[in-house]
Structure 1
Amino acid sequence: MASRFPERARRRARHARAFAAAVCAVAALAAACAETGQGSAAVRILTHRDFHLPADALEAFTAETGIEIVVFREDTPDDVIDLLERSRAHPVADVVVGVDTLDLQHVIDTGLTEPYVPLTPGPLVEDLAVGDHAMTPISYIDACLNYLPSFYVVPERRIDELPDAEFLPPPVPGGLAALWDPAHGGTVVIPDAATSRMGVYLLVALERLHPERNDDEAMPWPQVLDQMLRWNVELAPSWEIATFERFAGGEPPPERPISQDEPDPVTLQSLRGRLPMTWGTTGLPSVYAEYQPGLPPSLDIAVVTDDCVRIGFYAGVVAGAQNASLGGRLIDAMGEPLFQFGISDRFGSRPARSDIVSTPEWNEFGVAVHPYRPDPAYVGAHWKEWQLTWSQVVRNFETGPPPPEPEVTVTLP
Structure 2
Amino acid sequence: MNTISTRLGLGLVGGLSALALTACAGTTDTGTDPSSVVTLVTHDSFNVSEDVLAAFEKESGLTVKQITPGDGGSLVNQLILTKDAPLGDVVFGIDNSFATRAIDEGVLEPYAPAGQADSAAQYAVGDGELTPIDFGDVCVNVDHAWFGNTGVPEPVTLDDLTKPEYKDLLVVTNPATSSPGLSFLLATVGAYGEDGWEEYWSKLKANGVKVTDSWSDAYYVDFSGSEGNGPRPIVLSYSTSPAFTVSEDGSSTRTGALLDTCFRQVEYVGLLAGAANPEGAKKLVDFLVSDAFQADIADSMYMYPVNTDTELPEGWVEFAPLSPEPFDVAPADITAHRDEWIKAWTSTVIG
CA distance in 1 between partners of 2:291 and 2:116 (Å): 11
Output the amino acid matched with 2:192. H
> Which residue in the other structure is 1:300 paired with?
254
> Which residue in the other structure is 2:155 paired with?
173
Higher Cα radius of gyration: 1
Cα gap change, 1:230 to 1:345, in 2 (>3 Å):
farther
Query: What are the superposed Cα offsets for residues 54-76 of structure 1, whole Å, 9 maximum, x if unpaired?
Result: 44333211111212222222123
Q: 2:135·2:267 contact (CA, 8 Å) conserved in 1? A: yes
Could you list the runs of 5+ residues in structure 2 that have no partner in the other structure?
6-18
Q: 1:44·1:70 contact (CA, 8 Å) conserved in 2? A: yes
> Which residue in the other structure is 2:24 paired with?
30
> Which residue in the other structure is 1:372 paired with?
327
Is 1:119 aligned to residue 114 of structure 2?
A: yes
Is 1:287 aligned to residue 244 of structure 2?
A: yes
SS across alignment from 2:127: helix
Summarize the alignment of residues 4-403 of structure 1 with structure 2, pairs less than 5 Å apart.
27-30=21-24, 32=27, 34=29, 37-38=32-33, 41-124=36-119, 127-152=122-147, 169-170=152-153, 172-212=154-194, 214=195, 220-249=196-225, 274-289=231-246, 296-344=250-298, 348-360=302-314, 362-370=316-324, 371-396=326-351
CA distance in 1 between partners of 2:290 and 2:266 (Å): 17
CA distance in 2 between partners of 1:102 and 1:136 (Å): 14
Output the amino acid matched with 2:206. R
Q: 1:179·1:233 contact (CA, 8 Å) conserved in 2? A: no
CA distance in 1 between partners of 2:122 and 2:169 (Å): 34
Output the amino acid matched with 1:318. L
Output the amino acid matched with 2:140. L
**Deviation (angstroms), 1:204:** 1.0
CA distance in 2 between partners of 1:329 and 1:126 (Å): 20
Query: What are the superposed Cα offsets for residues 28-53 of structure 1, whole Å, 9 maximum, x if unpaired?
Result: 55271538712652222222324334
CA distance in 2 between partners of 1:361 and 1:203 (Å): 29
Q: 1:340·1:351 contact (CA, 8 Å) conserved in 2? A: yes
Output the amino acid matched with 1:388. K
**Stretch moving more, 314-323 or 37-46:** 37-46
Q: 2:245·2:254 contact (CA, 8 Å) conserved in 1? A: no
Q: 1:104·1:376 contact (CA, 8 Å) conserved in 2? A: no
**Deviation (angstroms), 1:168:** 5.3
**Deviation (angstroms), 1:368:** 2.4
CA distance in 2 between partners of 1:40 and 1:322 (Å): 8
**Deviation (angstroms), 1:26:** 5.4
Query: What are the superposed Cα offsets for residues 70-122 of structure 1, whole Å, 9 maximum, x if unpaired?
Result: 22221233443344334434434221111111221122223321221122222
**Deviation (angstroms), 1:299:** 1.1
> Which residue in the other structure is 1:263 paired with?
none
Number of equivalenced pairs: 335
Q: 1:287·1:361 contact (CA, 8 Å) conserved in 2? A: no
SS across alignment from 1:275: coil
CA distance in 1 between partners of 2:106 and 2:174 (Å): 31
CA distance in 2 between partners of 1:331 and 1:234 (Å): 38
Query: What are the superposed Cα offsets for residues 255-302 of structure 1, whole Å, 9 maximum, x if unpaired?
Result: xxxxxxxxxxxxxxxxx872332221110011334xx7x563311211
Q: 2:34·2:277 contact (CA, 8 Å) conserved in 1? A: no
RMSD (Å), alpha carbons: 3.2
SS across alignment from 2:224: coil
SS across alignment from 2:24: coil
Output the amino acid matched with 1:320. G
**Deviation (angstroms), 1:184:** 2.4
Query: What are the superposed Cα offsets for residues 357-402 of structure 1, whole Å, 9 maximum, x if unpaired?
Result: 1123535521122223433332233223222222222344xxxxxx
Could you list the runs of 5+ residues in structure 1 that have no partner in the other structure?
10-24, 156-166, 215-219, 253-271, 397-413
Q: Percent identity?
A: 27
SS across alignment from 1:133: coil
CA distance in 1 between partners of 2:245 and 2:335 (Å): 31
Cα gap change, 1:124 to 1:106, in 2 (>3 Å):
same
Output the amino acid matched with 1:47. T
Q: Which structure carries more helix by proportion?
A: 2
Query: What are the superposed Cα offsets for residues 216-272 of structure 1, whole Å, 9 maximum, x if unpaired?
Result: xxxx222221211222233334322222232233579xxxxxxxxxxxxxxxxxxx8
